[in-house]
């Protein structure tokens, strides 16, 4: 069975490619390398360097495939506020073109990368799939629109709504690290902190026990295990939405403490202003992931920090 992985040169997509190959699938990667890195694509995968917005690239990529894992997207909240049209074109336009070409090729199976950003400011935690989505930024809005498009497509589809993805896979070809530029995510920023450039703690006056924001971190290997289970349990001509997180929350200070344990020294950190748009607490209700996918997360915050450290040091 051949799987098309869109965005397979990115951090999460490349982890999916490695784990799909390991599980015995054939893999085609479609990636325009706008943010991905070609050196992470294994030689066993067929690579099409191209765009979702090119019919020719889509035809080449979909040829011989039986199912799709769709990761390719613009995914920076701040950038999406500055360039909403770009996010609409690439995320919504690109997905629409992909779905249309899948139909032309007779491919009906798809697992999609969605996000907790579709929920916006939660009215309650943990957040369940039944809670009303209300994205607070164009990134979340484009991802919600994709989920709505796929829901009416007639495909056998599962959208997986990620909370905070961290950690790394040590693949046959080395560590598949998170390599964003600029890096905005907490764990890599903690691990890159120096005395001259300490990590900033965005807000210490949040309504949480230690005053810093709480997030639900999930190891990228647990995340992709859930994708493979989703691929193997796709509903017939129906769309499901499933949250992926650990079901537990960690504050920024708790993550810094876990990192200090992993690296064995104090992490330089400074208290800073709140970052615009951050909700205080995001935690996933993962009841559906556990029951529907017969899955559970197995790697905790200490391992996420340690694997991230090993992948970037
Ligand atoms: N954060 C922080 N300093 C940083 C990056 C992030 O204090 O350099 C905080 C951020 O405000 C949020 C949490 O860490 O509460 C996780 O942020 P991240 O950008 O990793 O993921 P997000 O939750 O925005 O998807």
Decide whether 2-166+217-244 matches 169-216+247-282+298-312 in CATH topology. no
Take atom 25 of ligand 1 and give the residue whose Cα is closest: 164
Lowest mean pLDDT among 104-113, 180-189, 247-256: 180-189
List active site positions.
139
pLDDT at position 278 over 90: no
What mean pLDDT is predicted for residues 289-299? 98
- Give the pLDDT confidence of 128-172 residue by residue, as tens digits: 999 999 999 999 999 999 999 999 999 999 999 999 999 999 999
Query: How much distance in Å is there from the Cα of 164 to the middle of ligand 1?
Result: 9
Cα Rg of the chain, angstroms: 19
Q: Which CATH number is correct for 2-166+217-244, 3.20.20.140, 1.10.10.350, 3.40.50.720, 3.10.180.10?
A: 3.40.50.720
For the CA of 184, the nearest atom of ligand 1: 19
Backbone dihedral angles phi then psi of residue 70, each to the nearest 5 degrees:
-105, 100
Topology of the domain covering 169-216+247-282+298-312: UDP-galactose 4-epimerase; domain 1 (3.90.25)
Which H or E run includes 62?
A: helix 55-62
Q: Considering the chain, what percentage of its residues have pLDDT values greater than 90?
A: 94
Measured distance CA(32)–CA(8) in Å, rounded: 10
Query: How much distance in Å is there from the Cα of 185 to the middle of ligand 1?
Result: 6
What is the token pair recorded at 195? 């005395």
Query: How much distance in Å is there from the Cα of 186 to the middle of ligand 1?
Result: 5
Backbone dihedral angles phi then psi of residue 265, each to the nearest 5 degrees:
-150, 170
Q: Measured on CA atoms in the order 261, 183, 120, 15, is the torsion positive or negative? A: negative
Residues paired with residue 67 on neighbouring β-strands, in sequence order: 3, 109
> What residue spans define the domains of the chain?
2-166+217-244, 169-216+247-282+298-312
pLDDT at position 180 over 90: no
Take atom 6 of ligand 1 and give the residue whose Cα is closest: 186
Ligand 1 pocket check for 201: Cβ under 6 Å: yes
CA–CA distance from 77 to each of 49, 83, 216, 272 (Å)?
Answer: 25, 10, 18, 19
Single out the residue of 182, 172, 148 nearest to residue 41, CA to CA. 172
């Amino acid at each position: 069975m051949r799987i098309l992985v869109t965005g397979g040169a990115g951090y999460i997509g490349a982890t999916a490619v490695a784990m799909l190959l390991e599980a015995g699938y054939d893999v085609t990667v479609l990636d325009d390398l706008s943010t991905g890195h070609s050196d992470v694509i294994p030689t066993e995968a067929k690579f099409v360097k191209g765009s979702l917005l090119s019919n020719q690239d889509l035809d080449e990529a979909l040829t011989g495939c039986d199912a799709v894992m769709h990761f390719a997207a613009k995914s920076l909240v701040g950038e999406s506020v500055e360039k909403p049209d770009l996010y609409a074109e690439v995320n919504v336009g690109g997905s629409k073109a992909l779905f249309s070409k899948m139909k032309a090729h007779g491919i009906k199976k798809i697992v999609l990368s969605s996000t907790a950003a579709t929920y916006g400011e939660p009215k309650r935690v943990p957040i369940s799939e039944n809670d009303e989505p209300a994205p607070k930024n164009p990134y979340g809005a484009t991802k919600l629109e994709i989920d709505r498009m796929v829901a009416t497509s007639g495909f056998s589809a599962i959208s997986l709504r990620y909370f905070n993805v961290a950690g790394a896979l040590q693949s046959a070809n080395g560590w598949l690290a998170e390599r964003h530029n600029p890096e905005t995510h907490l764990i890599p920023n903690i691990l890159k902190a120096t005395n001259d450039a300490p990590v900033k703690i965005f807000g210490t006056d949040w309504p949480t026990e230690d005053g810093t924001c709480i997030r639900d971190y999930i190891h990228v290997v647990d995340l992709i295990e859930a994708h493979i289970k989703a691929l193997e349990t796709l509903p017939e001509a129906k769309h499901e939405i499933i949250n992926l997180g650990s079901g537990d929350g960690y504050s920024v200070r708790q993550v810094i403490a876990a990192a200090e344990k992993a690296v064995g020294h104090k992490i330089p950190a400074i208290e800073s202003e709140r970052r615009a748009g951050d909700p205080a607490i995001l935690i996933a209700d993962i009841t559906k992931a556990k029951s529907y996918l017969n899955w559970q997360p197995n790697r905790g915050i200490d391992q996420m920090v340690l694997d991230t450290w090993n992948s970037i040091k």
